[in-house]
């Protein structure tokens, strides 16, 4: 298989895939479709359209072409040599940060927008947390000439004004959501409400591999070029599969896009890194697989953060993209089956990894991706001890860090002059006012 061909998507019906009703791991286990009857017809229509599209070379060719010619994919697989020296074995980075709009998310939205066009719908809606999926959706809508409305928690529109401006510049309407906690999960609720009312002419571009069937499988299929490319690149460049693959997990689209290609390779260990926030022993984290329990949220049975009554608990992560109280159901299945390990990485560990990658490799990753790097470095040290310098870990660097510079500046205190004491800093600040 040549690398150029690997971006063409495929869907499957193996043991790791969902059955016809969207159940992973057997009926009633994970996923499914816990949704209002009003949306069932639309979800069925989408399921049929997606399955037909995946089997139609006209669709897959056009999707592949948009990824190559517009999004700048496949992304390179890069041997991070200085980082590798540091941990004692080979660390490979799948450079999704180099894709158009700065993250893997462009794959999913180009796929879903093309499918929308194929279904004859003219309008797309999307939810967004920090704004990355919103920006990607607005981009794909502009590319395909679709109307676009993005729902974003009011708390997030204030925190991420730059991304709001980007979406508006790209022609999207951005609606701040004031209900509930006014964050990502409430933006999803509001987008679903819009969809119920406008389902005849509107498609919902869901931002992650979660939600009701077919979204977990469909989003995975559109994102799985990450893993298909990386697997082929690793074989071509190093003549062998990696010993382990690693990705950060929020809703889990970049992770499932990577893992999907390696699930059947029993010798490749799979690691997902959730947002440990201020620590999984505190209530302030976003690690539902590691520290949550099974339940139903946004249409799927999965692991989620909930209280004793099944009310959703607010998640916390320094990374807005991982700040979600649920997780895609295929990850729940991969974890429950024992095929993959899902471990928490704290805010502090992620920020240290971000700084380390910047200084050793000249790459500023998204804070989301820094969680993957932080977790992978721990695994790499174990691998090196066990298998020596030829051991290989492949990490998905899912996005670039430009969007996070505000958080990074604040966290490391980079905005101020260095080498002055606090009194002088304050004095300067007062003067400048």
Beta carbon of residue 41, minimum distance to another protein (angstroms, whole number): 4
User: Residue 358 and residue 394: Cα distance in Å, rounded?
Assistant: 18
The DSSP secondary-structure symbol of 284 reads -
> Closer to another protein at the Cβ: 281 or 308?
308
Count residues near another protein (CB under 8 A).
36
> Closer to another protein at the Cβ: 189 or 337?
189
Beta carbon of residue 146, minimum distance to another protein (angstroms, whole number): 21
Positions 85 through 144 that interact with another protein (CB under 8 A): none
338 contact partners, CB below 8 Å, separation of at least 6: none
Task: Give the range of 51-59, 278-286, 308-316, 345-353 binding another protein by CB under 8 A.
Answer: 308-316
Task: Give the range of 236-244, 262-270, 305-313, 359-367 binding another protein by CB under 8 A.
Answer: 305-313
Let me know: does 302 contact 308? Beta carbons within 8 Å.
no
User: Residue 146 and residue 194: Cα distance in Å, rounded?
Assistant: 16
User: Residue 162 and residue 113: Cα distance in Å, rounded?
Assistant: 23
CA 214 to mean position of chain CA atoms: 17
Positions 137 through 196 that interact with another protein (CB under 8 A): 179-180, 185-186, 189, 192-193, 196
Give the x/- contact pattern for another protein in 28-67, rule: CB under 8 A: x---xxxxxxxxxxx-------------------------
Task: Give the range of 25-33, 121-129, 399-407, 415-423 binding another protein by CB under 8 A.
Answer: 25-33
Q: Burial of 433 by CB count in 10 Å (0-12 exposed, 13-18 middle, 19+ buried)?
A: exposed
The DSSP secondary-structure symbol of 417 reads P
Beta carbon of residue 252, minimum distance to another protein (angstroms, whole number): 19
Positions 318 through 347 that interact with another protein (CB under 8 A): none
User: Residue 390 and residue 394: Cα distance in Å, rounded?
Assistant: 13
Beta carbon of residue 344, minimum distance to another protein (angstroms, whole number): 23
Q: How far is CA 129 from CA 109, 148, 249, in A?
A: 15, 16, 15
Give the x/- contact pattern for another protein in 198-217, rule: CB under 8 A: xxx-----------------
Positions 377 through 416 that interact with another protein (CB under 8 A): none
Beta carbon of residue 206, minimum distance to another protein (angstroms, whole number): 13
- Residues known to be catalytic: 105, 127, 398
> Closer to another protein at the Cβ: 312 or 337?
312
Other Cβ atoms within 10 Å of 82 Cβ, number: 13
Q: What backbone torsions phi and psi does residue 28 show, to the nearest 5 degrees?
A: 85, -5
222 contact partners, CB below 8 Å, separation of at least 6: 9, 63, 107, 108, 110, 111, 112, 257
Beta carbon of residue 303, minimum distance to another protein (angstroms, whole number): 12
CA 350 to mean position of chain CA atoms: 16
Task: Give the range of 91-99, 252-260, 310-318, 424-432 binding another protein by CB under 8 A.
Answer: 310-318
* Residue 26 touches another protein, criterion: CB under 8 A: no
Total number of residues shown for the chain: 433
DSSP per-residue codes, 159-176: HTHHHHHHHHHTT-EEEE
Let me know: does 402 contact 342? Beta carbons within 8 Å.
no
- Of 2, 58, 311, 430, the one binding another protein by CB under 8 A: 311
Other Cβ atoms within 10 Å of 142 Cβ, number: 15
Task: Give the range of 114-122, 145-153, 247-255, 289-297 binding another protein by CB under 8 A.
Answer: 289-297
DSSP per-residue codes, 30-82: EE-----HHHHHHHHHHHHHHHHHHT-HHHHHHHHHIIIIIS--SPPEEE-HH
Let me know: does 249 contact 327? Beta carbons within 8 Å.
yes
> Closer to another protein at the Cβ: 186 or 361?
186
- Of 295, 360, 382, 411, the one binding another protein by CB under 8 A: 295
* Residue 309 touches another protein, criterion: CB under 8 A: yes
Beta carbon of residue 301, minimum distance to another protein (angstroms, whole number): 8
> Closer to another protein at the Cβ: 42 or 358?
42
- Of 95, 107, 298, 371, the one binding another protein by CB under 8 A: 298
Beta carbon of residue 37, minimum distance to another protein (angstroms, whole number): 5
Residues lying near another protein in the complex (CB under 8 A) are found at 21, 28, 32-42, 179-180, 185-186, 189, 192-193, 196-200, 295-299, 306, 308-312
């Amino acid at each position: 298989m040549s690398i150029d061909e690997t971006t063409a998507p495929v869907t499957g019906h193996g043991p790791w895939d969902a059955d016809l009703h969207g159940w992973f791991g057997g009926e009633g286990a994970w996923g499914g479709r816990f949704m209002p009857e009003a949306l069932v017809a639309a979800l069925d229509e989408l399921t049929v359209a997606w399955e037909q599209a995946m089997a139609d070379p006209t669709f897959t060719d056009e999707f592949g072409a948009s990824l190559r010619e517009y999004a700048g994919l496949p992304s390179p697989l890069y041997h991070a040599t200085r980082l590798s020296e540091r941990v004692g074995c080979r660390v490979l980075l799948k450079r999704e940060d180099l894709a158009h709009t700065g993250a893997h998310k462009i794959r999913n939205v180009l796929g879903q927008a093309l499918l929308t066009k194929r279904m004859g719908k003219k309008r797309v809606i999307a939810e967004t947390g920090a704004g990355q999926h919103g920006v990607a959706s607005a981009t794909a809508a502009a590319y395909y000439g679709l109307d676009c409305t993005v729902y974003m928690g009011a708390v997030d529109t204030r925190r991420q004004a730059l991304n709001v401006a980007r979406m508006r510049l790209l022609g999207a309407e951005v609606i701040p959501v004031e209900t509930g906690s006014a964050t990502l999960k409430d933006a999803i609720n509001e987008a679903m409400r819009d969809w119920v009312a406008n389902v005849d002419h509107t498609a919902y571009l869901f931002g992650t591999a979660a939600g009701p069937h077919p979204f977990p499988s469909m989003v995975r299929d559109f994102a799985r070029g990450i893993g298909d490319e990386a697997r082929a690149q690793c074989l071509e460049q190093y003549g062998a599969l990696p010993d382990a693959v690693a990705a950060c997990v929020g809703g889990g689209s970049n992770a499932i896009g990577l893992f999907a290609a390696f699930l059947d390779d029993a010798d490749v260990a799979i690691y997902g890194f959730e947002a440990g926030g201020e620590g999984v022993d505190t209530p302030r984290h976003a690690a539902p697989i590691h520290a949550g329990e099974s339940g139903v949220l946004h249409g799927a049975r999965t692991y989620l953060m909930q209280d004793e009554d099944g009310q959703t608990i607010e998640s916390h992560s320094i990374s807005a993209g991982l700040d979600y109280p649920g997780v895609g159901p295929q990850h729940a299945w991969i974890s429950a089956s024992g095929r993959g390990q899902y471990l928490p990485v704290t805010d502090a560990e992620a920020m240290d990894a971000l700084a380390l990658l910047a200084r050793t490799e000249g790459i500023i990753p998204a804070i989301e991706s820094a969680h993957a790097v932080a977790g992978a470095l721990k695994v790499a040290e174990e691998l090196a001890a066990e298998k020596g310098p030829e051991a290989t870990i492949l990490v998905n660097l899912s996005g670039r860090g430009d969007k996070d510079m505000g958080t990074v500046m604040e966290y490391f205190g980079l905005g101020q002059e260095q080498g002055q004491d606090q009194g002088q800093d304050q004095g300067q600040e007062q003067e400048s006012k």
